[in-house]
């Protein structure tokens, strides 16, 4: 099956994930697939490898439960052939294809990049597998009303998805920014930054204000300086954003990245005197 999706990054990990030594999942025809089942991983972070290890090692299953796993940055991991009858919705397994979004959505929210990737993936699959007409949450399958999975509202997900389908393609091609939270000395700030090519970009003025730094705008050179230090900033709708590490250095702060909560943690470090 062709899994090149415009505007999305798909990593084929089918051959590299841990599998059971002897047990194998059953197979089906593509036309047996009637629905996509949405799951959350119920873990704050994770990876297809970790889920596969758990499903095989702890549960004793033939392989990873899901056909696709979508990371917080929107990368789609292709884990099983669609023809694989893997275990994720009990008696409905034969007719369902499993899509898992990494995160525990009882306490977290899917990132915009994840939702965008899910929409693109489902749309792509529905072209390749026309019998896959429905998109359901795990909880909506018979016998699973008790299960809080995927722990985001499916009604809204489906209506956003149908609006997404109606949007012209050129309007959808802009990759969404992944927001990152910011904390200073342990308390969460009300402003957020975003990820740009794997680097956290933070709002210069808002962070400098709470951390107590001097911000200058050099109009002649269109430059932003913090405590006299020049930053490699990006202007987004009138506000300057700078790489977390640069801004932290200019403010005399230490910086840490928390992958589980997508948070840039700033703190007053030891100041040499």
Measured from the CB atom, the residue of 136 and 202 that comes closer to Zn ion is: 136
Measured from the CB atom, the residue of 55 and 138 that comes closer to Zn ion is: 138
Measured from the CB atom, the residue of 158 and 245 that comes closer to Zn ion is: 158
Residues that bind Zn ion in the complex, under the rule CB under 5 A: 39, 138, 149
Coil/strand/helix, residue 55: helix
Report the distance separating Cα 269 and Cα 129, nearest Å.
55
Measured from the CB atom, the residue of 146 and 171 that comes closer to Zn ion is: 146
Measured from the CB atom, the residue of 39 and 265 that comes closer to Zn ion is: 39
- Phi/psi of residue 155, nearest 5 degrees: -60, -45
State in angstroms the smallest separation of the CB of 20 from Zn ion. 20
Measured from the CB atom, the residue of 39 and 124 that comes closer to Zn ion is: 39
Contact by Cβ (8 Å): 69, 32: no
Report the distance separating Cα 72 and Cα 263, nearest Å.
13
State in angstroms the smallest separation of the CB of 150 from Zn ion. 6
The string over 100-122, giving b where at least 16 C-beta atoms fall within 10 Å of a residue's C-beta and e elsewhere, is bbbbebeebebbebbbbbbbbbb
Report the distance separating Cα 71 and Cα 176, nearest Å.
14
Order of strands, sheet of 215-218, starting from the edge strand that comes earlier in the sequence: 215-218, 223-226, 229-230
Contact by Cβ (8 Å): 226, 251: yes
State in angstroms the smallest separation of the CB of 19 from Zn ion. 21
State in angstroms the smallest separation of the CB of 192 from Zn ion. 28
State in angstroms the smallest separation of the CB of 154 from Zn ion. 12
Measured from the CB atom, the residue of 39 and 95 that comes closer to Zn ion is: 39
Report the distance separating Cα 88 and Cα 97, nearest Å.
9
Report the distance separating Cα 191 and Cα 183, nearest Å.
9
Residue given tokens 């993936």 in the structure block: 121
State in angstroms the smallest separation of the CB of 139 from Zn ion. 8
- Phi/psi of residue 268, nearest 5 degrees: -70, 115
Chain length of the chain: 273
State in angstroms the smallest separation of the CB of 57 from Zn ion. 19
State in angstroms the smallest separation of the CB of 141 from Zn ion. 9
Measured from the CB atom, the residue of 149 and 204 that comes closer to Zn ion is: 149
Report the distance separating Cα 153 and Cα 149, nearest Å.
10
């Amino acid at each position: 099956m062709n899994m090149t999706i415009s505007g999305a990054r798909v990593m084929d990990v089918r051959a590299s994930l841990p599998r059971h030594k002897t047990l194998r999942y059953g197979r089906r025809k593509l036309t047996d697939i009637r629905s996509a089942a949405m799951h959350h991983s119920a873990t704050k972070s994770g990876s297809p490898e970790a889920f596969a290890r758990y499903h095989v090692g702890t549960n004793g299953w033939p392989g990873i439960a899901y056909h696709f796993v979508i990371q917080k940055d929107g990368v789609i991991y292709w884990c099983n052939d669609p023809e694989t009858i893997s275990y994720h919705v009990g008696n409905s397994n034969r007719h369902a294809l499993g899509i898992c979004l990494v995160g525990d959505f009882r306490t977290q929210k899917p990132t915009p990049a994840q939702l965008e990737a899910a929409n693109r993936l489902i749309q792509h699959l529905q072209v390749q597998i026309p019998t896959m007409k429905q998109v359901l949450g795990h909880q909506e399958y018979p016998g699973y009303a008790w299960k809080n999975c995927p722990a985001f509202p499916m009604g809204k997900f489906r209506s956003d998805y149908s609006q997404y389908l109606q949007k012209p393609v050129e309007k959808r091609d802009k990759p969404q920014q992944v927001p990152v939270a910011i904390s200073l000395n342990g308390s969460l700030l009300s402003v957020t930054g975003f990820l740009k090519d794997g680097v956290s970009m933070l709002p210069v003025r808002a962070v400098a204000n709470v951390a107590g730094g001097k911000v200058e705008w050099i109009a002649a050179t269109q430059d932003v300086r913090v405590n006299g230090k020049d930053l490699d900033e990006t202007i987004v709708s009138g506000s300057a954003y700078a790489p977390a590490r640069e801004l932290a250095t200019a403010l005399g702060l230490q910086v840490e990245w928390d992958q589980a909560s997508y948070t840039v943690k700033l703190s007053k470090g030891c100041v040499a005197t």
